[in-house]
């Protein structure tokens, strides 16, 4: 039987935990009522849903009636941002390092003639606090930030950002997709207004997510004439009780071991960075080295192209930081917004460590990536130019490589 490659793409999705699967199964065929039914079966299902909502609320220190179940973080963000901006008719603020789904929302708002402003970040992807304050002094609205960046792992100081937002009577939405269940989140202490998360990022099922909405802000996202008994009048449709139970179980399991997992994953991160830098020259770690979630490592192998490295590293499953379309290289919008040099950005890969990653897995990754890099550099005209001291980025500017 062909051996599967080692999975190092946990930021993309995670395998469903067996305990989560076991927790869900009874709600597919034993406890199968519709929560809107008034009989025994409906009450049984409603009880399961209420328990799931309470579990999640307990894990992040909010009230249960502030948790809205959705199909995932993308839908959660769309509800929070689009409906709030539609009601307030104010400015939408975000950074170009945000997840593509948030950038798409910004694009849509601009098509609808709503004002959008992009906030500055530094070369590590950290939000420029002075720029934030300056922009909020001039315009009120809704700010959306990514707590842990999905490409670099950079962690924002959400408490300080929230304080500045509220200082100028602005609301804040936090995309916590890569943070939920991986770092401690005390939402009442952070005082954020909206938060999005997905079940499949925390070893739960796909197709389920949550939107946290502070109770006082639910007036902005409630749908006119909606049934107030279904997700507080915010989202319509039959509630998928098994998936909600699965999210809650995954949340519970993740929160129990956050400290232990952070320590273990940080050790694996340090091993990877130390050894890969020892093996190869011109290796760059993109993102903050002091404020990050350690499970996401964005690393550039200068002189190589990200997709080529992926193809050559056949024993591991990883993601590239660049996308290849129509025979033209496109650079990650995240790294581009951070001001990373094009030749470094297009050589980036994302190593995402997870619950099942071992030190042996990391060593295989190092071995594969080292061999692949040496092979590709040996036949690379770009690498020869770099070694000769030629500024390769001028070739990006002239259009030999296209980025955007």
**Residue 216 phi/psi, 5° resolution?**
-70, -15
Residue 251 in tokens: 């949340």
Active-site residue 170, yes or no? no
Residue 361 in tokens: 């897995």
Half-sphere exposure of residue 364, counting CA atoms within 13 Å on the CB side? 15
- Whose tokens are 């297009």? That residue is 346
Residue 240 in tokens: 């998928």
A 10 A CB-CB count for 100 gives: 12
CA distance 58 to 41: 26
3-class SS of residue 93: strand
Q: Contact at 8 Å (CB) between 205 and 16?
A: yes
Q: Contact at 8 Å (CB) between 202 and 251?
A: yes
Burial 64-85 (b: 16+ CB within 10 A, else e): eebbbbbbbbbbbbbbbbbebb
CA distance 207 to 47: 21
Closest to 322 in 3D by CA, of 298, 290, 296, 288? 298
Edge to edge, what strands does the sheet with 209-213 contain?
Answer: 67-70, 209-213, 194-198, 171-175, 141-146, 91-95, 116-119
3-class SS of residue 236: coil
Q: What would you report as the CA-atom Rg of the chain, rounded to the nearest whole angstrom?
A: 22
91, 165, 244, 324: the active-site residue? 324
- Whose tokens are 């950074």? That residue is 95
Residue 353 in tokens: 């460590």
CA distance 126 to 339: 12
9: CB partners within 8 A, 6+ apart: 317, 318, 319, 350, 352
Residues assigned a catalytic role:
324
């Amino acid at each position: 039987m062909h051996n599967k490659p080692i999975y190092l793409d946990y930021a993309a999705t995670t395998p469903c935990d067996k305990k989560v699967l076991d927790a869900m199964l009874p709600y597919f065929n034993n406890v199968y009522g519709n929560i809107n039914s008034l009989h025994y079966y409906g009450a049984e299902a409603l009880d399961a849903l209420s328990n799931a909502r309470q579990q999640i609320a307990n894990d992040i220190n909010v009230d249960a009636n502030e948790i809205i179940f959705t199909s995932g973080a993308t839908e959660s963000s769309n509800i929070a941002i689009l409906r709030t901006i539609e009601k307030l008719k104010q400015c939408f603020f975000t950074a170009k390092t945000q997840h593509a789904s948030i950038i798409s929302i910004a694009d849509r708002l601009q098509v609808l003639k709503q004002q959008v402003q992009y906030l500055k970040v530094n070369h590590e992807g950290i939000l420029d606090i002075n720029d934030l304050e300056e922009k909020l002094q001039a315009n009120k609205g809704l700010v959306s930030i990514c707590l842990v960046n999905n490409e670099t792992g950079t962690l924002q100081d959400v408490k300080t950002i929230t304080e500045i937002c509220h200082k100028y009577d602005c609301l804040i939405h936090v995309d916590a997709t890569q943070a939920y269940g991986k770092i401690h989140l005390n939402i009442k202490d952070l005082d954020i207004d909206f938060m999005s998360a997905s079940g499949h990022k925390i070893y739960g099922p796909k197709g389920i997510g949550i939107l946290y909405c502070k109770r006082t802000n639910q007036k902005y996202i409630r749908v006119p004439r909606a049934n107030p008994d279904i997700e507080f009048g915010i989202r319509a449709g039959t509630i998928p009780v098994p998936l909600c139970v699965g999210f809650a179980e995954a949340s519970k399991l993740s929160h129990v071991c956050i400290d232990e997992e952070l320590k273990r994953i940080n050790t694996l991160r340090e091993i990877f960075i130390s050894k890969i830098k020892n093996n190869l020259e011109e290796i760059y770690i993109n993102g903050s080295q002091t404020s990050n979630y350690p499970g996401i490592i964005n690393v550039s192998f200068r002189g190589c192209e990200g997709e080529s490295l992926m193809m050559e590293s056949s024993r591991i499953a990883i993601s590239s930081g660049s996308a290849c379309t129509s025979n033209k290289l496109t650079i990650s919008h995240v790294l581009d917004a951070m001001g990373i040099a094009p030749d470094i950005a297009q050589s980036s890969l994302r190593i995402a460590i997870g619950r099942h990653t071992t030190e042996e897995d990391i060593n295989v990754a190092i071995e594969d990536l080292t061999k692949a890099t040496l092979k590709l550099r040996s036949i690379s005209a770009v690498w020869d130019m770099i070694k000769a001291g030629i500024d390769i980025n001028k070739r990006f500017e002239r259009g030999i490589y296209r980025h955007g």
